[in-house]
Amino acid sequence: MGTETTGSKTIGKALRMKLIKTIIIAAIIILTGSSGNEALAQSGRGKHKQGNSDILHSIPDLTEAQRSSIKIIQNKHQKELELLRKEKRSTTDEKVKARIKIEMDAKKKKNIIEIKKQLTPDQEKYYDKNCAHGNNCNGNHGMHMKKQDRKGKF
């Protein structure tokens, strides 16, 4: 019987050690994950970040006047979309949600047109290729692309 008790104690001790290791690893993963999310939020790459927000840093040779105009356009656009998002979240009526989506899409197209009016022809070409229509201004495509268009882009 003495051997069985010692064996049970050894197994119990091994299970406790395994449990402690598992808890420590889980805590590390949780802490690392949350600090990563905080870093993303602080860097401005969190929820509802617009693909066009990087254009001030991406489009070549923007003047200060262009930067200022584009910032104003973007801020207005983001406020309008946020109001529509809140309205969309506040309803369960699918017809209302569909109407809001159509309105949001129209505002996004209008935003693109307003931004393009601020650009030179060369800058507009760059914008069309890299920033408009779901791209994030560095050639990588956003979630707005159709699945078949995203193949091989990552």
Quick one: average pLDDT of 92-111? 95
The pLDDT score that the predictor gives to residue 22 is 85
The pLDDT score that the predictor gives to residue 7 is 61
Which residue in 45, 65, 39, 44 sits closest to 118, CA to CA?
Answer: 65
pTM: 0.55
User: How many residues can be counted in the chain?
Assistant: 154
Quick one: average pLDDT of 41-62? 61
Cβ atoms within 10 Å of 79's Cβ, excluding its own? 10
**Tens of pLDDT, residues 136-149:** 565 444 444 444 44
The amino acid occupying position 146 is K
The amino acid occupying position 41 is A
Mean model confidence pLDDT for the chain: 76
What is the torsion angle, in degrees rounded to the nearest 10, for the CA atoms of residue 52, residue 57, residue 58 and residue 64? Answer: 90
The pLDDT score that the predictor gives to residue 138 is 52
